[in-house]
Structure 1
């Protein structure tokens, strides 16, 4: 696939996801899954009690995250300004000042990256998906329960630079910021394991901390590779034995039921946890409203979901009631639903190694899974809803 076609496909997927997420009201905050643990330190897959047959397990599992949060690669990264970069849209942008940074995207990935580069003290605002504790007190520049950028909130913060992608809108707001003379650097909207490093470097280059970016990219890639190696050691290796997985995005209040396929980011996540991405088999591309035919054709052994999505339909019982076709699949018959915090599960970035580990534990060693630990930066509250709002 050419870069142009790939970029267009990514932009379309991001736009669909933004539309879906923005259409939804606030969700409940209780855990939709039934994690076996009661919180505490994260369980490493290498130390977990692995099932002899992951298909044999019955019941839902919540993939919790421990309280660890930002881990800056440097406290005072060496910075070289001004810097001129050509962004992902081919626009040449000169950044002279990074004292007031806005890093905005649908997933909260960009703000996490800026903090892990060691520039968190210079961030002046946040998007709705930025949920980690170090950033929670920053003012929102999106709606309290939507992902729509609000121009007045941005200009009030007087940002010296904006790092963003095409996943948030309306795009006219971004153009308005450029017209106002604010340097706006548009990075890749693609989210997946394959570009965690390159996306990190794009952000770092735009902020004049190239060396810190390279170090953070290498650290993230090294940790992801180590986690994937651990997963490979316990996950079935043949196609016939791999767990057939799909990713469902649902919001019961808004009547939204989507299955995420190729190019959505969910495919990269499923590959990362050692599953078989059924979307490829049934030619399910991007993000589309789920159908009974699609679910039945997929015949998943396990379904991945966002926590608030599962909550919004009343847990597994409610999901089976609203999408009865799931009952005709192995996942429905064994109630094998694994959910994770909305603001973490598809936010590919510095915390991806922990996300993969937690999901893998919940899939292959569910009795060792933990609930969200106290202080988990990705646990949302009613007043501060996350990606799934």
Structure 2
């Protein structure tokens, strides 16, 4: 065997040994912090909630999760808050932060698992399997993933049939604070769920969530306005919201077609996504005949 081959083989052995050690630590982790509502839902769906010691603000389902200590909002975490519960593992959705906090957490003697956010049926399956692997519950995760994938395929088939040849244009409103409307563009959870429910996102000019002018929103001509059902600026009555200058001239406002749904259910892309697709499709197109 050449020197290169011996070095390569030795390196592989080291990598595999480190990987096995990390996996062993993961399977034995008993003090887990879950960051991201869908991550927490998956942990519960896999029956591993007894290993959780804390969760973030977005983790509101199931109701029992809200009894856990809250370490803050997923995108505005402090390292002190997360580490105060003495975790041996952190499972967090992609996009958690800020980056400075993640740097501290990843340097601590804690296993850090990042769960990808992909707003599709395949993305939900990947998310479930990633969490399952982190917990050392691959077999249970594969079974859950298969069930959820089947449910999603059925929900999407029904939604596509409901839309028929006339899919409606949907405007997702994230915020109306101060009368300024922030909407969802491409590559967002809102964009993904709208498409899965048989709709067309009315905003394709940009990616992410951004404020738009009244004129641009009117030009988008949405048939339906979709928003999260929550307090704060979304505590506006239906009439007050539809009378906002930015929305009032849209076909959706003129027909009174406003849909509100629970934010985590609608945008979480977790085990209940098929239910979200079915609920949104029904709200857009009416109950299946």
The TM-score range, normalised by the shorter chain, is 0.7 to 0.9
With over 3 angstroms needed to count, the CA separation of the structure-2 counterparts of 1:261 and 1:310, relative to structure 1, is farther
Q: CA deviation at 1:278?
A: 2.2
Is 1:273 paired with 2:197? yes
Of residues 89, 92, 99, the one that matches 1:161 is 89
Is 1:261 paired with 2:191? no
User: Does the 8 Å contact 1:100/1:159 carry over to 2?
Assistant: yes
Q: CA deviation at 1:174?
A: 2.3
- Aligned counterpart, 1:214: 142
In 1, distance between residues paired with 2:78 and 2:193?
A: 31
Of residues 240, 260, 271, the one that matches 1:318 is 240
Greater per-residue helix proportion: 2
User: Does the 8 Å contact 2:42/2:271 carry over to 1?
Assistant: yes
User: Does the 8 Å contact 2:117/2:123 carry over to 1?
Assistant: no
Is 1:224 paired with 2:152? yes
- Aligned counterpart, 1:88: none
In 2, distance between residues paired with 1:131 and 1:320?
A: 28
User: Does the 8 Å contact 2:189/2:268 carry over to 1?
Assistant: no
- Gaps (5+ residues) in structure 1? 1-80, 86-92, 369-389
CA deviations on 1:195-249 (whole Å, 9 max, x unpaired) are 100111111112211111111111111111111122233222x2xx211112111
User: Does the 8 Å contact 1:310/1:339 carry over to 2?
Assistant: no
Is 1:109 paired with 2:38? yes
Of residues 199, 217, 227, the one that matches 1:305 is 227
User: Does the 8 Å contact 1:191/1:347 carry over to 2?
Assistant: no
User: Does the 8 Å contact 1:245/1:302 carry over to 2?
Assistant: yes
Give TM-score scaled by structure 1 length: 0.64
In 2, distance between residues paired with 1:342 and 1:276?
A: 19
- Aligned counterpart, 2:3: none
- Aligned counterpart, 1:25: none
Of residues 80, 95, 100, the one that matches 1:172 is 100
RMSD (Å), alpha carbons = 2.6
Of residues 97, 111, 135, the one that matches 2:28 is 97
User: Does the 8 Å contact 1:305/1:338 carry over to 2?
Assistant: yes
CA deviations on 1:276-332 (whole Å, 9 max, x unpaired) are 22223xx2322111211321221011011111268636223222343x142222101
In 1, distance between residues paired with 2:132 and 2:21?
A: 11
- Aligned counterpart, 2:13: none
With over 3 angstroms needed to count, the CA separation of the structure-2 counterparts of 1:99 and 1:173, relative to structure 1, is same
- Gaps (5+ residues) in structure 2? 1-18
- Aligned counterpart, 1:46: none
Aligned residues: 270
User: Does the 8 Å contact 2:75/2:95 carry over to 1?
Assistant: no
Is 1:196 paired with 2:124? yes
Q: Secondary structure at the match of 1:118?
A: coil
Q: Secondary structure at the match of 1:141?
A: coil
Q: CA deviation at 1:163?
A: 0.9
Higher relative contact order (CA 8 A, sep 6+): 1
User: Does the 8 Å contact 2:170/2:202 carry over to 1?
Assistant: yes
CA deviations on 1:146-196 (whole Å, 9 max, x unpaired) are 852132332221111111134222222222223221111112133333410
Q: Secondary structure at the match of 2:276?
A: helix
Q: Secondary structure at the match of 2:181?
A: strand
In 1, distance between residues paired with 2:180 and 2:211?
A: 8
Of residues 277, 280, 285, the one that matches 1:359 is 280
In 2, distance between residues paired with 1:189 and 1:268?
A: 11
Counterpart mapping for 1:367-382 below 5 A:
none
- Aligned counterpart, 1:55: none
- Aligned counterpart, 2:207: 285
CA deviations on 1:43-67 (whole Å, 9 max, x unpaired) are xxxxxxxxxxxxxxxxxxxxxxxxx
Give TM-score scaled by structure 2 length: 0.84
Q: CA deviation at 1:251?
A: 4.3
In 2, distance between residues paired with 1:350 and 1:183?
A: 24
Q: Secondary structure at the match of 1:304?
A: strand
